Amino acid sequence: MASNIKGFSKWTKEEKLQWIAKTYFSNSEEIIALIKTYWNSDEDVQKLHDEFIENTLTNFYLPFGVAPNFVINGRNYTLPMVIEESSVVAAAAKAAKFWSERGGFKATVLNTEKIGQVHFTYTGDSAALTRFIDTIRPQFFSDTEALTQNMRKRGGGILDIALRDKTELLENYYQLHVTFDTKDSMGANFINSCLEQIAATLKEQARHFDSAEQELEVVMSILSNYVPNCCVRASVSCAVSDLTSSEIENPEEFVAKFMQAVRIAEVEPFRAVTHNKGIMNGVDALVLATGNDFRAVEAGVHAYASRGGSYSSLSHAKVEDGIFTFWLDLPLALGTVGGLTSLHPMVKVALKLLGSPNAEELMQIVAVAGLAQNFAALKSLTTTGIQQGHMKMHLKNILNQFKATDEERRNAVLHFEKNIVSHSAVVELLESLRK
């Protein structure tokens, strides 16, 4: 193993690569050659990718697929999806086709507020602190005008700054809870810059507030990825009788079983986690394709799923007057300008494919992707079972793992049309073909 090194970040990419390969791999030349095969042949494109993060050695590719036939609010879409898991894109496309023949998906943005907080401690009188914050609140807005002017021109900016007393949870703990509207940008840098200025103003003004300079101490200022008031709803709906298909012979029986599966996810956290993971298969794939922060989305969504005190399903279903409705609400802080959206070439392709949506439109499309994925999974689980379709899609990966020839692939596909796919079954077939 290597000892600590100094100045690594200042080395060239070639120097970093050589050191990594020679330090950690016995076949260093093979590793170097492999890593370099993933470099982009266009030097300008590669330089762009190199500068996205620090200490870049190469690119790590994920498939960029598409799911057609999505009808959302009466408009046709083909969704770009970046994901490595078999059957996700196929399931999304299948659900899209199913609902395109039954009125399509509906989506609406419920609200668009984003949150940032200045966390601080204060050991003085809380009533005096409230009066102090009320007095200097206009100063917060005036001191951030230079930062917010462009956002305000687009109809966004700082919406409110509220003092919150959290001393029941943590001794001497208070916060300035700041709400923002960042329009078409995700707004992380904008929000954090505003918060740091607000924190600086708070510290400066505290010097004139009796003995508050000693009593008030700013701990940190940072945006929150929990955005319960930046939320979108996606839904599908049709008469129960219209659900009949090649896989659904008895729609009433299907709906009863489907709704029971949803109810189980609403009350059983062990099931809810996997249920919601299926939703995020669709959400993350589209969030990645459009250059947004899937980690922030994941954190916020799962916090939202726990807002009732127990982790629960994000989706819900009902039947009223013979009409089946399936829906979900998702907190999604997304952007279509700034960050990777204006840098990554394939992000530009993805957004163009979607018709160059604004942030609210993208929120709706992403929520629909999650609902489609969830519907496809629940439909499979309550009819044929999820492994039948998933393992047939996964067959290609297993064959690739064992370097199957074209002839072996053709034989495998024919064989597993009538047999259950499993890793061991594929190995056994290949062994028999190779004898």
pLDDT (0 to 100) of residue 108:
98
DSSP state at residue 42? S
Does 395 have pLDDT greater than 60? yes
Q: What residues are annotated to the active site? A: 85, 277, 293, 390
3-state secondary structure of 244: coil
User: Is 211 a residue whose pLDDT tops 60?
Assistant: no
pLDDT band at 282 (very low <50, low <70, confident <90, very high): very high
Please say if the pLDDT value at position 386 is more than 60.
no
Q: Please, what is the Cα angle at 77 between 349 and 69, to 5 degrees?
A: 125
Mean pLDDT of 381-394: 68
- What number is the average pLDDT over the span 321-325? 97
Which residues, in sequence order, are bridge partners of residue 295? none
Please tell me the pTM assigned to this model. Answer: 0.87
pLDDT of residue 387: 56
- Distance between CA atoms of residues 157 and 145, nearest Å: 9
Instruction: Give the domain ranges of the chain.
Output: 8-50, 64-110+232-384, 114-224, 389-434
Q: Per-residue pLDDT tens for 398-425? A: 888 888 888 888 888 778 777 777 778 8
H or E element in which residue 255 lies:
helix 251-267
Residue 77: strand, helix, or coil? strand
pLDDT tens for 331-358 read 999 999 987 887 899 999 999 999 999 9
Written as one letter, the residue type at 2 is: A
Strand partners, 324: 238, 319
pLDDT at 406: 82
**Rounded to whole angstroms, how far apart are CA atoms 296 and 283?**
12
> Domain 64-110+232-384 adopts which CATH fold?
3.90.770
Question: DSSP labels for 408-427?
Answer: HHHHHHHHTTSS---HHHHH
Count of other CB atoms within 10 angstroms of residue 154: 13
pLDDT at position 384: 76
Instruction: Please state which CATH number belongs to domain 114-224.
Output: 3.30.70.420
pLDDT tens-digit readout, 153-208:
999 999 999 999 999 999 999 999 999 999 998 899 999 999 999 999 999 999 88
Over pLDDT 90: what percentage of the chain? Answer: 81
Q: Which pLDDT score, from 0 to 100, does residue 401 have? A: 81
pLDDT band at 392 (very low <50, low <70, confident <90, very high): low
Distance separating alpha carbons of residues 69 and 253, to the nearest angstrom: 27
pLDDT score at 390: 55
